Chain A
């Protein structure tokens, strides 16, 4: 497993651990959905990433107390998540299913949640939560007439109405349009900045990349990597790193770079060089030095395969 513990809370043994899974497995009959997964999460946003059927929702549901681990433990704030309804005082959970109570208005739905959380001012808390997801205009309409994206936002409002320290979201961007995604992303970033632990599952790489640097990558029920995905990429020494280099004289720079030990491939394009190296950090340090020695102005030096997509692609193919 690739672990980039220095990069953030995912995978680290942070002092502010709020969610901890230890050797967790879950099976259904002979089918193993999650296999011996361990991680510790603290404040910040963590994306639970994996192909469909990888076990993301199973892990999220175990963390939310809605699935019993067949083996191992999942703890929330050092207490078992399973059969512990009291933990919901600090936890908000947004399920993937679209179903809501169609006969309730948006406001009544959030108010229901606020009352069940036992808040002292449920009406005020509901108004604030609805405002946070920008749904005031539709709050008096029945949920039965809401679009999928609107339901998603109301579900988030109902989950954050009690100001939880931990928020678990299962595929939260399903059905949302780009504007709604931006709004939701901003909300989750704001909540993370306030010190909350936010974990969301997704199979859409763009969503995860925009929202979280820290990821737990699940493939076929196993945790194959955790931490900052860029750091995970750098740990993959068996895979060449690719840089795009632009300079005042690409041809001459290409010749100089090839001579460096960290470089094992240079491709000369129309406007830039594509350089392949086995040593990310060494090359990043060497390139400016080499350019300077040749009297070439280095205009751009960009790692190009550090996107979550490339990291994910490498991990899935392993």
Chain B
């Protein structure tokens, strides 16, 4: 991240990982979503995001932090990079109930390889209460394999406290950078 940091947080991850729900949990206004009827029976959901989700947190005085959710499908990876550019940080949400959860993490680490250099990021793994494998430790190990070290926490995006923890982990990384640079 550079001094051109824009006040936005990006939620990304595969379809059905909870990006729209996480944004709805934080946003001061009903999020704008671009869902269409899903045509992938493996996802077991009626709609899926094909454009982007958008929410906002108003800070007062006209200042706001924008919340973006990317489309999950890999064919839209060009949008991931566009949305992530100059963000405060990126939340990668993974649905552990999907059989290839680890491969999904790989997709996003590879798809966002360049932007993630120096950017705050946190991995939130959902549905771990019913699907313990892969373990959080295995995800952290896979991150190390990619040369990355980001927090990996289990998350239920329907719980505001869990989503706030993801934001807290992002903010701590960004603040640490600014504090160390100015010290």
Are A and B interaction partners? no
Interface residues of A, Cβ cutoff 8 Å to B: none
Interface residues of B, Cβ cutoff 8 Å to A: none
